[in-house]
């Protein structure tokens, strides 16, 4: 299949590009490389050194014999995006290309506005481009479990059937997102749903949980193909951060009580889920929503798991409860349905102590690149 991967230089996008290319798909990337600029802005860096995008695709061609075309530009630049769609004529478009950090979106007004414009306008341009140039293409859009928030009822996959005053309807599941970033994903979902209803586009919204792990078979196969590993308090995410904190001899930074429960998924399963959505497309006019995670954990459970495995590597890790920089429930009900991708054939890789030990080992290898001064949270929600 001809597949366009928007955001193909990022943490989820790059492994997806390699996996789809390895499976024989004809893959092209759109990326503005802005994520690399945010590292410069924030004084941060990936724990694993990452090659430039031209170096990455050149090495992939040497290793695999497969070509991945790159289009460097911004999704908010409509003329650029239309030109790419016209030239590539993709049958499927995987859209990762957004500002994805909740803390980054909460730094101040400018970062909130930037995040929402970048994400919502980029996705709108893509929707108009699909309508005009490739109306049959299947849009696979990365959403997030955080769109739903933490309601006191089970979370369904996108829709809920409600009986109200004697009448029944199946409606989008209520959304209570927890940051300006998460709100941008809700706005995207509404826009995509509208375009499916009105123009007959076919879309799958993958409401993904927090991704952990770093490498996939392809990214680990050569140092030039390594994936990015974010560890700082703005772009780093829960489990991956605890791993690096344990290696740095830093307290594991559980925010508040740590009862915040989320869906989690390994990066290897992320790429497989995207592939499954690609192989089983939505129908024209259908806005399909899959909850893309494999297990749910509380933040405290994850920190305790890392602390329990750390001694295997002669590391001593201590769990600390920091004042929570975010406004969120720290003790709550959480049960989210996630069967659609399993029904399509996903065989989840579950978190086990050997994987935690492997990640600790990886962080030990690159421990001279840990920026200890960037581990404590600095962005407050209030």
The nearer residue to ligand NAD, 236 or 318, going by C-beta atoms, is 236
d(CA 3, CA 75): 16
Residue 328 as a binder of ligand USQ (CB under 6 A): the answer is yes
> Which residues are CB-contacts of 170 (< 8 A; sequence separation ≥ 6)?
159, 160, 161, 162
State the nearest-atom distance from the C-beta of 329 to ligand NAD, in Å: 19
Site string for ligand NAD, 120-149 (x = CB under 6 A): --x-------------------x-x-----
Catalytic-labelled residue, pool 16, 141, 148, 185: 185
d(CA 372, CA 205): 36
Among 201, 211, 243, 310, binds ligand NAD (CB under 6 A): 211
For the question of residue 170 being annotated catalytic, the response is no
State the nearest-atom distance from the C-beta of 51 to ligand NAD, in Å: 13
Give CA angle at 281 (280, 285), nearest 5°. 145
d(CA 5, CA 137): 13
Residue 144 as a binder of ligand USQ (CB under 6 A): the answer is yes
**Do residues 66 and 79 lie in contact, with contact meaning Cβ atoms separated by under 8 Å?**
no
**Strands, E, within the chain: which ranges?**
2-6, 26-31, 69-72, 92-95, 138-144, 159-164, 167-172, 202-208, 210-212, 252-255, 261-266, 287-292, 295-298, 319-322
Residue 263, binding choice from ligand NAD, ligand USQ, none, Cβ under 5 to 8 Å by partner class: ligand USQ
β-pairing, 92-95 with 138-144?
Answer: parallel
Residue 306 as a binder of ligand USQ (CB under 6 A): the answer is no
Among 21, 68, 98, 242, binds ligand NAD (CB under 6 A): 98
Question: Which residue of this chain has its Cβ atom nearest to ligand NAD in the complex?
Answer: 10
For the question of residue 212 being annotated catalytic, the response is no
Q: Where are the alpha helices (DSSP H) in 249-346?
A: 267-279, 299-309, 340-343
For the question of residue 115 being annotated catalytic, the response is no
Residue 232 as a binder of ligand NAD (CB under 6 A): the answer is no
**Do residues 155 and 262 lie in contact, with contact meaning Cβ atoms separated by under 8 Å?**
no
**Do residues 251 and 316 lie in contact, with contact meaning Cβ atoms separated by under 8 Å?**
no
How crowded is the C-beta side of 173, counted as CA atoms within 13 Å? 25
Token pair belonging to 156: 């369904």
Query: Which residue from 35, 266, 277 is spatially nearest to 141, judged by alpha carbons?
Result: 277
Among 229, 255, 290, 297, binds ligand USQ (CB under 6 A): 255
Segment contacting ligand USQ by CB under 6 A, of 41-49, 69-77, 247-255, 353-361 = 247-255
Among 50, 102, 140, 225, binds ligand USQ (CB under 6 A): 102
**Do residues 195 and 131 lie in contact, with contact meaning Cβ atoms separated by under 8 Å?**
yes
The nearer residue to ligand NAD, 4 or 310, going by C-beta atoms, is 4
Among 210, 234, 289, 299, binds ligand NAD (CB under 6 A): 210
Q: Which chain residues interact with ligand NAD by CB under 6 A? A: 7, 9-13, 31-35, 74-76, 96-100, 118, 122, 142, 144, 208, 210-211, 237
Q: Which chain residues interact with ligand USQ by CB under 6 A? A: 100-102, 144-146, 182, 209-210, 237-238, 241, 253-255, 260, 262-263, 299, 326, 328
Please give the positions annotated as active site: 144, 181, 185
């Amino acid at each position: 299949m001809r597949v366009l991967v928007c955001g193909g230089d990022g943490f989820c996008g790059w492994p997806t590009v390699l996996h789809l290319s390895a499976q024989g798909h004809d893959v092209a990337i759109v990326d503005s490389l802005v994520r690399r600029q945010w590292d410069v802005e924030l004084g941060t860096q990936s724990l694993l050194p990452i090659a430039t995008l031209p170096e990455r695709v050149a090495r992939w061609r040497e290793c695999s014999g497969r070509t991945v075309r790159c289009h460097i530009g911004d999704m908010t630049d409509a003329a650029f995006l239309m030109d790419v769609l016209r030239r590539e004529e993709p049958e499927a478009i995987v859209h990762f290309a957004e500002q994805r950090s909740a803390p980054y979106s909460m730094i101040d007004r400018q970062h909130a506005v930037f995040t929402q414009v970048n994400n919502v306008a980029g996705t709108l341009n893509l929707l108009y481009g699909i309508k005009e140039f490739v109306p049959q293409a299947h849009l696979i859009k990365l959403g997030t479990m955080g769109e739903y928030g933490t309601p006191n009822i089970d979370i369904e996959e996108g829709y809920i059937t409600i009986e109200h005053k004697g009448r029944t309807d199946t409606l989008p599941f209520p959304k209570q997102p927890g940051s300006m970033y998460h709100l941008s994903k809700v706005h995207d979902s509404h826009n995509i749903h509208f375009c499916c209803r009105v123009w007959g586009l076919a879309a799958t919204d993958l409401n993904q949980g927090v991704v952990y792990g770093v490498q996939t078979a392809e990214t680990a196969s050569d140092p030039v193909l390594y994936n990015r590993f974010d560890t700082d308090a703005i772009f780093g995410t829960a489990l991956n951060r605890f791993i690096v904190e344990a290696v740095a001899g830093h307290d594991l930074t559980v925010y508040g009580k740590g009862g915040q429960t989320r869906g989690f998924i390994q990066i290897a399963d992320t790429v497989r889920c995207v592939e499954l959505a690609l192989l089983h497309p939505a129908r024209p006019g259908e806005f399909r929503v899959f909850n893309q995670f494999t297990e749910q954990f509380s933040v405290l459970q994850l920190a305790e798991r890392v602390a329990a495995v750390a001694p295997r590597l002669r590391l001593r890790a201590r769990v600390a409860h920091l004042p929570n920089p975010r406004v969120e429930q720290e003790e709550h009900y959480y049960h989210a349905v996630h069967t659609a991708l399993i029904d399509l054939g996903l065989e989840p890789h579950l978190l086990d102590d050997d994987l935690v030990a492997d990640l600790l080992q990886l962080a030990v290898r690159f421990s001279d690149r840990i920026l200890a001064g960037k581990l404590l949270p600095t962005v407050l929600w209030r």
